[in-house]
Amino acid sequence: MTTVPVSMTDVRGLVDGALRAAVGRLDPRTYRVAAYHLGWTDEEGRPHKAPVGKALRPALALLSARAAVAPPESGLPGAVAVELTHAFSLLHDDIMDRDRTRRHRPAAWTVFGEASTILAGDALLALAGEVLLEAPGQGSARAARALSVATRRLIAGQSLDMDFETRRQISVDECVAMASGKTAALLACSCSIGAVLDGASDRLCEALQAFGEDLGIAFQLVDDLLGIWGDPETTGKPALSDLRSRKMSLPVVAALNSGTPEAAKLAALYARPGPAGKEPAEEELSEAAALVEAAGGRAWAEIEAESRIQRAAEHLVSARLPEPVRAEFLHIADFVTCRDH
């Protein structure tokens, strides 16, 4: 198992106070939803330590400040902003995907209702812009614009993902473009925003952005693999969850475009109406997983993820980073694309 990178174990201590201060600006009703989603409180608003995410995006933001030979603390506004934006996206995604659990407990919308959860997500996104624009130095406006562009791309990717729900003819290139927006855009911004805040050169910021783009695609590929073959104890979601919702994920789309007999069988299974008001039978889900694998979808996704990580590493070479910083970026990339956790 890949060990947790130091930059990810330390980030909570650096970011948590600033993140709580930012969220503390919200009105009480909105704060209650946000604090629950972030794992700080229970359903009644009482202090509670719930499972939280890996703090991947804040860690990358702080590390990108070090890439510009600045202290990691200078990237703190960027770290808070990308975490707020990520929280906004998850609050909305859970509603759109009808996901009832998030990190092993009820999703916020099932506790507080859809309207309150949407508003909480909107408020967190607004806070992200505030935090960046208040950052000291001349890089704040540039960073705010970079996050705004990333958010626009994220929304476009989510919109395309929703469009896929009503289509059965989707190319691999279309699916990669969706992942590039929905997942990679914010990761790429996270990888460069600390350097942007520090006023680093375009060459460095662009190299870090490119690293994050390829890392984001690899991250989505691994997430999609876990969505079919992941352990529920690890993922926090039911087994075969993406097949349960007939999601057009990257391995599924690759399988459907393989031109194999298994692809035709998988297409027919996906087009079959589900039982009214009932979950698909476990036998049908297992059959779908076997067909995706037999049609080459699993192998393609695994190989493509490895290729994206290699490309990401090449971008770091062109960035001419201090060796400890480059090694930490690579360690994070290895950690988040390892399927042992």
129-183 pLDDT tens trace: 999 999 998 899 999 999 999 999 999 999 999 999 888 899 999 999 999 999 9
**Angle between helix 114-133 and helix 6-23 axes, rounded to 10 deg:** 100
Tally of CB atoms within 10 A around 294: 17
Of residues 123, 121, 99, 119, the one with CA closest to residue 110: 99
Which is it for the CA torsion 286, 292, 294, 298, positive or negative? negative
Residue 281: exposed, middle, or buried by beta-carbon count in 10 A (0-12, 13-18, 19+)? Answer: exposed
Q: Is the pLDDT of residue 219 over 90?
A: yes
CA 247/CA 228 separation, integer angstroms: 10
Helices (H), 38-75: 56-67
Pairing of strands 105-106, 101-102: antiparallel
pLDDT at residue 275 in the model: 64
What pLDDT was estimated at residue 341? 41
Which pTM was predicted?
0.93
Give the whole-angstrom CA distance, residue 55 versus residue 243. 27
- pLDDT, average across residues 9-22: 90
pLDDT digits 0-9 by tens, 50-67: 888 889 999 999 999 999
Task: Kindly report the average pLDDT of the chain as a whole number.
Answer: 93
